[in-house]
Amino acid sequence: MLEQRDETVVNAFRTGYSAEPAGVWVAPGRVNLIGEHTDYNDGFVMPFALDQRVTLAARPRPDSVWSVTSVNTGRTEVFDADELQPGMAGWQAYIAGVVWALRESGHDVGGADLTLGSDVPLGSGLSSSAALECAALTALVDLNELTIEPLQRAILARKAENEFVGAPTGLMDQAASTLCVEGHALFFDCRDHAIRQVPLADPALEILVLNTNTPHAHVDGEYAARRASCEEAARLLGVPALRDVTDLDAALAKLDDDLLRRRVRHVVTEDARVLEAVAVLEQGRLADLGPLLDASHVSMRDDFEITVPTIDLAVETAREAGALGARMTGGGFGGCIIALVPTGTADAVAGRIGEAFAAAGYAAPAHFVGRPSAGARRIA
Ligand code: ADP
Ligand code: MG
């Protein structure tokens, strides 16, 4: 049984191509539970897939042409094999990039008609882009009867985003959209790509995801600066990456630059918090995740300096309204927060944040309850 949101896409496919799709695939957005700016330091992250997802209906074509319609943009874009050049403009680059990445890796991918729709908020740090890539990849793998392991699929989707679209991201988003299991968070080691499915279910608690709707400003430059600081610190400390710092006090004593010291302290303590979060969740103590979320936020605010006033206000208000813990999630300078709240209170907590935003003159936030969901798959 397809849900209404999936039926909408199938109906748009029928209207657009006057035919039945050969199948329907979905791939979710994700939110990072804990582990921020640890990915490029070879460290640990722990996202979970959301219920919000891309639905994609498709059928093969006899030629090497891809036609793709987005219900969200209302646009249909068409490209052929000769146009598969990295740097392609437009949203269709996320789909073309997947075709390109598969072909670059030696897979035989024929043309297809595709229609997709998404309820992942676009550009809010919930990875609507990875959902798009992973839905397309899963569909093309099936339509072309390819055999590709799940982790390899995530790597190919990331290749599309990094090398074709041109966005320098880590593997977390595509790994989450591909590998997640319902009711679990995904512990992911960004160095060796080891994974562990960690249970994230407690009837008494839920995770509020609140989008501050803060416009991201200077994000690329700030991101590059944080990355450069981490690389510089690793070099000064004589380790391959900050993940390899085993004695934080000794490392801090070796650095005389206060800014570098604080950057290192965030990354090293954040890695430790991810490991602690895994332990807490595996012992079924979800409530004990709260203090780890709080500590992560303070570290991002004071040591890594990637939060902004709207985000800090949202986190503080969530705590005052009864959250057991709250933190910014995502790269920073805007985007979303998550808060661990008693089940049934997410709307009330979000309401309090909305009031605080109105009083401060900020734009109204949006929110939903994050439900740990399954990764990319075929649904029809
Ligand atoms: P995020 O991944 O955090 O949502 P990105 O900037 O990485 O933000 O990706 C957002 C971009 O992905 C959009 O600007 C658009 O180009 C593309 N995109 C995502 N979902 C869709 C969709 N359903 N239809 C068309 N384009 C989409
Ligand atoms: Mg993205």
- pLDDT digits 0-9 by tens, 279-308: 999 999 999 999 999 999 999 999 999 999
pLDDT band at 1 (very low <50, low <70, confident <90, very high): confident
What pLDDT score was predicted for residue 279?
A: 98
pLDDT band at 62 (very low <50, low <70, confident <90, very high): very high
pLDDT 10s digits, 195-210: 999 999 899 999 999 9
Are residues 133 and 97 in contact, defined by beta-carbon separation less than 8 angstroms? yes
pLDDT 10s digits, 135-186: 999 999 999 999 999 999 999 999 999 999 999 889 999 999 999 999 999 9
Are residues 239 and 259 in contact, defined by beta-carbon separation less than 8 angstroms? no
- If you count them, how many residues does the chain have? 380
What pLDDT score was predicted for residue 37?
A: 97
pLDDT band at 118 (very low <50, low <70, confident <90, very high): very high
Q: Using CA positions, which residue lies closest to atom 11 of ligand 1?
A: 129
Please state the atom number of ligand 1 nearest to the C-alpha of residue 130. 2
Catalytic machinery residues? 173
Query: What DSSP assignment string belongs to 260-306?
Result: HHHHHHHHHHHHHHHHHHHHHHHTT-GGGHHHHHHHHHHIIIIIS--
Q: Which residues contact 333 (CB under 8 A, 6 or more apart)?
A: 214, 216, 217, 218, 219, 222, 306, 307, 308
Model pTM? 0.96
Give yes or no for residue 217 having a pLDDT over 80. no
Q: Which ranges of 41-189 does DSSP label H, i.e. alpha helix?
A: 93-104, 128-143, 150-159, 172-179
pLDDT 10s digits, 325-367: 999 999 999 999 999 999 999 999 999 999 999 999 999 999 9
Are residues 37 and 226 in contact, defined by beta-carbon separation less than 8 angstroms? yes
Q: Using CA positions, which residue lies closest to atom 23 of ligand 1?
A: 118
- Grouping H, G, I as helix, E, B as strand and the rest as coil, residue 65 is strand
What pLDDT score was predicted for residue 214?
A: 86
CB atoms within 10 A of CB 15: 10
Tokens of 347: 């709307």
What pLDDT score was predicted for residue 66?
A: 98
CATH of domain 205-370: 3.30.70.890
pLDDT band at 219 (very low <50, low <70, confident <90, very high): confident
Tokens of 124: 């809010």
Give yes or no for residue 112 having a pLDDT over 90. yes
Calpha distance 17→84 (Å, rounded): 23
Give yes or no for residue 215 having a pLDDT over 80. no
Q: Which residues contact 39 (CB under 8 A, 6 or more apart)?
A: 45, 170, 171, 172, 190
Amino acid (one-letter) located at 314: A
Give yes or no for residue 237 having a pLDDT over 80. yes
Q: Using CA positions, which residue lies closest to atom 8 of ligand 1?
A: 123
Sign of the torsion angle spanned by Cα atoms 66, 69, 72, 75: positive
Tokens of 25: 């695939």
What pLDDT score was predicted for residue 123?
A: 87
Q: Which of 88, 106, 92 is nearest to 144 (CA)?
A: 106
* Domain ranges for the chain: 4-199+374-378, 205-370
Q: What percent of the chain has pLDDT over 90?
A: 96
CB atoms within 10 A of CB 4: 6
Q: Which residues contact 127 (CB under 8 A, 6 or more apart)?
A: 29, 30, 120, 173, 176, 177
Are residues 332 and 219 in contact, defined by beta-carbon separation less than 8 angstroms? yes
Our mutation pick for probing the ligand 1 site, out of 91, 95, 158, 161, counting the most ligand atoms within 8 A of Cβ, is 91
Q: List ligand 1's pocket residues with C-beta within 6 A.
A: 70, 72-73, 91, 94, 116, 118, 122-129, 132
Give yes or no for residue 218 having a pLDDT over 80. no
Q: Using CA positions, which residue lies closest to atom 7 of ligand 1?
A: 129
Please state the atom number of ligand 1 nearest to the C-alpha of residue 70. 24
Q: Using CA positions, which residue lies closest to atom 9 of ligand 1?
A: 129
- Grouping H, G, I as helix, E, B as strand and the rest as coil, residue 353 is helix
CATH 3.30.230.10 fits 4-199+374-378, yes or no: yes
Ligand 2 centroid to 312 CA: how many Å?
Answer: 23
Ligand 2 centroid to 380 CA: how many Å?
Answer: 26
Our mutation pick for probing the ligand 1 site, out of 72, 75, 132, counting the most ligand atoms within 8 A of Cβ, is 132
Ligand 1 centroid to 341 CA: how many Å?
Answer: 29
Average pLDDT, the chain: 97
